[in-house]
Amino acid sequence: MTLLARTLAGCLALSIADAAAPALAQSPPPAATNPLPTTTNPDPKTPGTADIPVPAQAGAAPSAMPPAAGRDTLVATPGDANDVDEVSLPAKPAAILAGRAKWEEAVPSLKAAFQRIEADLAKAGIRPVGRPIAVFAKTDDDGFQYDAMIPIAAMPDPKPAETDGLRFGTTPSGKALRFPHKGSYDEIDGTYETLTAYLDAKDVVVQDRFIEEYVTDLNDKADEKLDVNIYALPK
């Protein structure tokens, strides 16, 4: 289990434990804490939650697709790399694809999920307008379960039925704490450790899910120019 796995699992386990207490009264769980003791390994037979392989057609994005670099983040104002921001997340219509991956395959799995969404939106003539988002909720020793999301201009009317795991819904909304991460994905565990320490120091109880918004493209886990917004949603 990687350091990122233990750190993210600790954050999620901490938020679940806080649901039974009025405030955080203890230090963050150690790195070896078992993740989400009430969570079992996601059933690969559950629709939309199977491992997502890199699609064969993902290598070439349709020419009509607007560049992801020109799309908006959930919150227009950039975060301060040295501070935590209190923000309000809007509920935006989005195309959503559920998946799961092993910890060491986090980046290629998420990248493949986003490529699949982009390709399906292009085929349907639906315009993506926001940065890619991953919502993490369940973890185990081997990996994690997530929802990959890409905000779109408007919800299709009528809303399409779920097709091969792809569905339409809205992004998480409400008050949130934004923790910017700038640097490689290999180093993102340090930002989660800062997040955990902040929640503990401020006695903040959060929902049992965390959101990563990729301000720059998620191409390689060693990319030092990666820019990610991590959101925690207080209860």
Decide: 46 and 231 in contact? Cβ < 8 Å: no
Instruction: Taking residues 65-91, report their average pLDDT.
Output: 83
User: pLDDT confidence of 12, banded at 50, 70, 90?
Assistant: low
Q: What percent of the chain has pLDDT over 90?
A: 62
> What confidence category does residue 46 fall into, taking pLDDT thresholds of 50, 70 and 90?
very low
Q: Looking at the domain assignment, is residue 96 inside a domain?
A: yes
pLDDT confidence of 137, banded at 50, 70, 90? confident
pLDDT tier, 30 (very low <50, low <70, confident <90, very high otherwise): very low
pLDDT higher than threshold 70 for residue 39:
no
What pLDDT shows up at residue 66? 42
Q: Is residue 95 part of a domain?
A: yes
Q: If pLDDT is split at 50, 70 and 90, which confidence band does 181 have?
A: very high
Give the model's pLDDT for residue 2: 52
Question: CA angle 19-205-43, nearest 5°?
Answer: 55
Query: Higher pLDDT residue, 22 or 198?
Result: 198
Can you give the length of the chain in residues?
A: 235
Three-state DSSP state, 6: helix
> Which pLDDT score, from 0 to 100, does residue 35 have?
32
Asked whether the predicted pLDDT for residue 17 surpasses 70, the reply is no
Radius of gyration of the chain (CA): 17
Give the model's confidence band at 82: pLDDT under 50 very low, under 70 low, under 90 confident, else very high: confident
Whether 161 maps to a domain, the answer reads: yes
| Average confidence (pLDDT) over 19-29 | 39
Q: Is residue 65 part of a domain?
A: no
Please give the tally of structural domains in the chain. Answer: 1
Q: In terms of residue numbers, what domain contains 127? A: 86-180+203-235
Check whether 55 has a pLDDT greater than 70: no
Q: How far apart are CA 149 and CA 137, in angstroms?
A: 14
In a domain, 154, yes or no: yes
Q: Is the per-residue pLDDT at 83 higher than 50?
A: yes
Q: Is residue 36 part of a domain?
A: no
Q: Is the pTM of this model over 0.85?
A: no
Query: Taking CA 135 as the corner, what is the angle to CA 134 and CA 137, rounded to the nearest 5 degrees?
Result: 140
Percent of the chain clearing pLDDT 70 (strictly above): 71
Count CA atoms closer than 13 A to 46's CA, side-chain side. Answer: 11
Average pLDDT over residues 141-150: 94
CATH of the domain at 208: 3.20.80.10
Distance CA 151, CA 230 (A): 17
**Look-up of token digits 């955990």:** 196
Residue entry with tokens 């493949």: 112
Which residues fall within 8 angstroms of residue 20, CB to CB, at 6 or more apart? Answer: none
Average pLDDT over residues 180-197: 95
